[in-house]
Structure formats: C-alpha cells, structure tokens
Amino acid sequence: MDVRRLRTLRTVVATGSITAAATELGYTPSAVSQQIAALEREAGSRLLERIGRGVRPTAAGRLLAEHAVAVEERVLEAAEALADLRAGRTGRLTLHHFASAGTTLVVPALLRMRRDHPRMRVVPEPADPTDPTAALDTGAADLVLTVRPEHVPPRPGTRVVLLRRDPYRVVLPVDHPRAREPTVSPADLADEPWVCAEPPGPCLDPILDACATAGFRPDLAVRAEDHATAQGFVAAGLGPAVMPLLALRHRHPGVVVRPVRGPEPVRAISAVVRDSDGEHPALRSLLAALRAEAAAGVPGTEPDAGGGVGEPATTTVEAG
C-alpha cells in the first residue's frame, strides 16, 4: 500500500471531511478522492462512508487509519536514520588489522571515533595474514590495515591510502655498550643474538634487507609474540632488537632507542578500502581518525634529561 495514500486516509478520518483533508494536505478534493479510491482498490475493502456533508471510516478504514499513524512514524524514523547514515553520524564498519597495529593505532583511533562519533560502531577483527585485502571482495571488511611495499599496485577495485612511513629503530638494554651512541648500525650488532617480534613477511623484510646491505644476516635467536614482550626481553639482556617506531609508543623503562645508522629500514602502513566506498561518510570519518593517530608523535622518544639515552622524535607521515 502506498504510504502517501495511507496518510491521506488518516487525515480524512481525523478531519471527517474530504474537503477539510484536502485543505490540510494542500491537495484538491478531487485528488483526495482519487487517492482514497486507489487505496480502497489496494485494500479490497470500502474504507469510508458518507454521513451528511462529511465522511466516517468503515471498520476497515478505521483499522488502516490506526496503522497509518504507526507507518508514518516508522517512515519518519527511517528517513532520520538514513540522514544520520549519510552524514556519517551513525553506521557500522568492520576494520581488519595486523597484530602490531592493534594497541598502537587501532585502539586510539577507536577511542577518537567514540568521542567524535558516539553512535558510530566500528568492529575490529584480525586480518587474514595470507591475503588480508581479500575480505574487501567478500564484504567481510570495510577497511583493511596492511603493511605493504609502496610499489605494489592495489588489488583491482580497491584504493590504498598511505597512513604512515614507519621507520625502524635499534632497541638496546640500558647497560649495552652502545647505549649512549647517538646512532647504531645493525652491523655493530652482527655478532649478537637478536630479539625479534616480527613474523615473516612485510614487517620483517625491511630489517633483513638492511642487514643484507650491511653484509650479514641477523641471528634471530629469541622470538616474541608482540613488541611489548620483545622490549622486555631486550631489557632482560637477551639481545638487541630492531623495531618499528610506532611499536615504541609504549617504551619499556629498561631499554634505549636509537636511530639506525646506514640504510634505515622503513615499513609503509596503509589503509585499503573499496573504490566504490570512496564517498562513504562513516568510512571517511574512520580514515580521518586513523590518519590522526598515525600522524601522532611517539611518546617517550624525546631526549632524556641529563642521560641523553632518549631519541629525538622522528615521524614522517603521508596521507593520501
């Protein structure tokens, strides 16, 4: 049944007159009569009967008029909800992310979204390490955070937004012989066992490439599941590590961080979205939150007063 015809019926029942309903709705009496006739055909029942100069509803007309009120309310709610969705005030998005981005990038971005867009729901999920952007094809994800070489073309039908070029740093225990040097070359640590929190793939490759350029392959003797644990292993003296700067936002008090001397390893952190979602307001809001967090400095990397064991904060960001 046509919603406008239901509204016309409700108005006729409320005013008790075709003429009065036409005046309230801004129609001609003929147009109101035509709408009522069409609604009666749709309903298969007579809806109004004449009484003097006015009309009154039949049982079927009274029933439809009562339901028309609820229908109009739901239509109005739907229109308001759609307006909120178009404006980016509400919605639901699924974000797939790699492990090390969880606490350093995703969590603060979600807190920002919750503050700025309290009715927006973002569901974070771990990305498939074998083919993270495949979830965009199936609709399982609306945005995927990845670490990927910048020269690799995007998957067909997707767009890549570079959030951050994240340089790597040497992480040493505070009592390491090279802890007070301003920069450290990976070659300086070639004879030591290393702590590693990077799985094989695009996060580990920049480290291995830098070491290969320096003429050696590191002994990744100690494996950690995450960067916080890896920092703890370094502080305990199990070996040095090379970690991305973003992973050092929460720095262990028992380590020092040094820029890499020589070829500096860098990983590119990107957000991948579907081309068709380019104007999605909720997605634009989420991308803005991720950009802001990716561009934020790394607390705890400023020079330490007196001891000089900190590191000048260095952050290079490009958001496309």
Cβ within 8 Å of residue 162, ≥6 positions away: 150, 268, 269, 270, 318, 319, 320
The reported pLDDT for the residue numbered 318 is: 34
- The tens place of each residue's pLDDT in the chain, 320 residues long, gives 788 888 898 899 999 999 999 999 999 999 999 999 999 998 898 999 988 888 999 999 889 888 888 888 887 777 766 766 666 666 789 999 998 888 889 999 999 888 888 888 899 999 998 899 999 999 999 999 999 888 888 889 999 999 999 999 999 999 999 999 999 999 999 999 999 999 888 999 999 999 999 999 999 999 998 999 999 999 999 999 999 998 998 899 999 999 999 889 999 999 999 998 767 788 888 999 999 999 886 554 443 322 333 443 333 333 33
3 state DSSP class of 55: strand
CB 142 within 8 A of CB 273: yes
The C-alpha torsion from 104 through 110 and 111 to 115, rounded to 10°, is 150
The reported pLDDT for the residue numbered 91 is: 75
For tokens 């495949």, name the residue: 134
The C-alpha atoms of residue 291 and residue 202 are separated, in whole angstroms, by: 21
The C-alpha atoms of residue 166 and residue 169 are separated, in whole angstroms, by: 10
3 state DSSP class of 286: helix
The C-alpha atoms of residue 37 and residue 46 are separated, in whole angstroms, by: 9
CB 98 within 8 A of CB 147: yes
Cβ within 8 Å of residue 128, ≥6 positions away: 96, 134, 135
